[in-house]
Amino acid sequence: MPDTTRSPRPSSADPSDSPDQKKRTRPRRASSESARRGASPQGAPPGAAAVPPPVGSQLSTWASVRRLYPYVRPAVPRLVGGLLSALGASLAALAIPRVLQTLVEGPLAEGAAAHDLGALVVPVVLVLVLGVAEAGFVLLRRNLVMYPGTRIEAVMRMALFRHLQDLPAAFHDRWPGGQLLSRIMGDLGLLRRWLIFGLLQLVVSAVTIVVGVGILLATAGWLGLVYLAGAIPVTVIAFRFSRRYRVIARLSQDQSGDLATTVEESVHGIRVLKAFGRGRDALESFTGQAEELRRTEIRKAGNQATVTTSLQLIPEVTLAVCLVLGSVLAARGQISLGDLVAFFLTAAVINGPVVDLGMTLSMTLNARTAVDRFFQVMETANPLADPADPVEPGPVRGHVELRDVTYRYDDASPPVLDGLDLELPEGTTTALVGLTGSGKSTLAMLVPRIADVTSGAVLLDGVDVRRLRRTDARRPVAVAFEDPTLFSASVRDNVLLGVQESGPDAVDEQERERRLHEALEVAQAGFVADLPDGVDTRIGEEGLSLSGGQRQRLALARAIAARPAVLVLDDPLSALDVTTEEAVTARLHEVLAGTTTLVIAHRPSTVALADRVAVLQDGRITAVGTHAHLLATDAHYRYVISNLEQDWEHYPDHAAAPDDAAPDRTAPDRTAPDRTAPDPRSEDAR
């Protein structure tokens, strides 16, 4: 059964693709398995940032967890306070048997309790005080660690989110969304629970056991040694359990991430699944993954149950042996009754932490896995980092030059752009034309530094964009992608996304309002007025409550409202009907005056926006000129345009458009060669 929950990779150059087929699909990303190994997964986009191997897996649990220290440091005083409170509670619990010992050896042994209840008052009050102190310490511990626990979780969550925002698009192409979601939500929640409970419990258990065993040895040396012998199998079992459980814990957390990815992709692609009637397949695929996770959870629980049972059994058995030996020793008068009672009551206090060791250990190992998974993302270096010594930008004129640019998606693949030169003079509009898959969108992402060139340079006003801070390189550039992403926010917030509210380029409220309405008008987004709350209407996740054309117009309005010096439009009008496209084109002409614009044309009509056209072929710009000049002189351009026209006329909306028979809107030369003409590079043409 095909995996319907995965998006297919876009196919390579295929001139027969129709415009709607050319909608960019999300590249396939790594499964958790390959992400874990850090290998390049089959089908993952080559060139995506390499997933670093999970460094943490080579570290010991302590070394791995110690990496949390920078996040934990501010909370250390409260955590130490919490630890001391927990120890206080534990010591109070350990002291109770000593009081009972004095009670047994004193008033009870002497029979004083029978006629003088007053003799019982002191020990009873002491037990009560110790019990209350224990409860008080537990409460104090909870209060002390609760705040830092949630604080550390929030700080780590913000750090991870910030890093994810910072990482290049190639990283996100590679990493499944569910894996990131499960790290940012599930893993960090797990860590919080460990920090406020598991970690303290571990330390307190260790101290209780050590102090308790010390008391046992002091109370009854030989019996204490017998009890201590139980530590040998306990250590072996705990060690073996840790090794096994670590692997299963990682598997379970990765599988949860895969499951989250499946849910995310199925919800995202619900329309496609429904349209193709593949809902059942998606369900089967989900059920399979959920079942896998369930089996892993059962293995986890099974391991935990085995270790808990063993850890319960060992102290019980040693205690039974001690009971026999103790009774013999007491019968021979080699140990007092009080010592015997104190011994067994202390052993009972120690038994709790020993039995809980399985749970505490598994919490610690889950936390360690969460730490490894957290740092696996956090330690992914950003190849698009800011330069150490950035150039301070002056006023931006908007002159862009791509100089001898090569770009490849990964070292193994052939370059998509290879020795490309292109100049976008200040204030001009250049249309970029090329066959499907020729690299137009790839080129477009180099200008706002969404990716960096493999070699060569992109210059903004003569400065290599890599020498600028990323914010300085990106601020003057606005992009409208073909596949418009809108956020679950109001229309206003979506459109004004690129308009600064603070900082040196801050725009006041009045100007923001003006830009909002102007951008909506230019993008012919009059439909916004009919939305329930106009520009304040919240649009659904990714704007799915709007039509494709409406979303595209809002994305275009967003790019216009930013008033950039450089505007990159990646086929921004592809989903518009003919009439709307005409209106948008006319208004864009006016507002683009003075803006350096690169517009990727998938439709002949889009070419009409441009002062000049650049032809992209075989990774290079092979010709630049006006539309008419290129039609007359460039065979490949004629071929591309004829294909675009062919696609466009087969496009259903266009065929049905009222002005279909109207004179050519785009002014491409109708003397262009037969659109069925072969590519001049093909054998036939030669």
Ligand X SMILES: Nc1ncnc2c1ncn2[C@@H]1O[C@H](COP(=O)(O)OP(=O)(O)OP(=O)(O)O)[C@@H](O)[C@H]1O
- Residues in contact with ligand X by CB under 6 A are 10, 12, 22, 27, 45-47, 173, 409, 416, 434, 436-442, 602
Integer Cα distance of 433 and 436 in angstroms: 9
- Least distance from ligand X to the Cβ atom of residue 425, Å: 23
Strand pairing of 463-464 and 455-460? antiparallel
- Least distance from ligand X to the Cβ atom of residue 552, Å: 15
Helix and strand numbers, DSSP H then E, in the chain: 26, 10
Say which DSSP state 682 is in: S
Q: Which amino acid is located at 37 in the chain?
A: R
Closer by beta carbon to ligand X, 439 or else 543: 439
How distant, in Å, are the alpha carbons of 1, 7, 340, 385 from that of 272? 16, 10, 74, 37
- Least distance from ligand X to the Cβ atom of residue 441, Å: 3
- Least distance from ligand X to the Cβ atom of residue 458, Å: 15
Integer Cα distance of 109 and 337 in angstroms: 9
Closer by beta carbon to ligand X, 563 or else 602: 602
Strand pairing of 596-600 and 477-480? unpaired
- Least distance from ligand X to the Cβ atom of residue 595, Å: 22
- Least distance from ligand X to the Cβ atom of residue 641, Å: 14
Closer by beta carbon to ligand X, 294 or else 681: 681
Closer by beta carbon to ligand X, 94 or else 450: 450
Strand pairing of 612-617 and 463-464? unpaired
Q: Which amino acid is located at 65 in the chain?
A: V
Q: At what angle do helices 548-561 and 578-591 cross, to 10 degrees?
A: 0
Integer Cα distance of 36 and 318 in angstroms: 43
- H or E segment to which residue 400 belongs: strand 400-407
- Least distance from ligand X to the Cβ atom of residue 179, Å: 18
- Least distance from ligand X to the Cβ atom of residue 392, Å: 32
- Least distance from ligand X to the Cβ atom of residue 482, Å: 7
- Least distance from ligand X to the Cβ atom of residue 573, Å: 14
What are phi and psi for residue 596, nearest 5 degrees?
Answer: -75, 120
| Contact partners, residue 425, CB within 8 Å, separation at least 6 | 399, 596
The owner of tokens 């790594």 is 30
Closer by beta carbon to ligand X, 150 or else 485: 485
Contact 174, 45 (CB under 8 A): yes
The owner of tokens 């770009």 is 407
Closer by beta carbon to ligand X, 61 or else 441: 441
Among 455, 435, 434, 432, CA closest to 444: 432
Integer Cα distance of 230 and 237 in angstroms: 11
Closest residue to ligand X, based on beta-carbon distance: 45
Joined together, the tokens standing for residue 138 give: 């537990």
Half-sphere exposure of 104 (CA within 13 A, CB side): 16
What are phi and psi for residue 106, nearest 5 degrees?
Answer: -95, -105
Closer by beta carbon to ligand X, 34 or else 442: 442
Closer by beta carbon to ligand X, 437 or else 680: 437
- Least distance from ligand X to the Cβ atom of residue 528, Å: 28
- Cβ–Cβ contacts within 10 Å for residue 278, how many? 19
Closer by beta carbon to ligand X, 420 or else 528: 420
Closer by beta carbon to ligand X, 289 or else 442: 442
Integer Cα distance of 449 and 461 in angstroms: 15
Closer by beta carbon to ligand X, 171 or else 241: 171
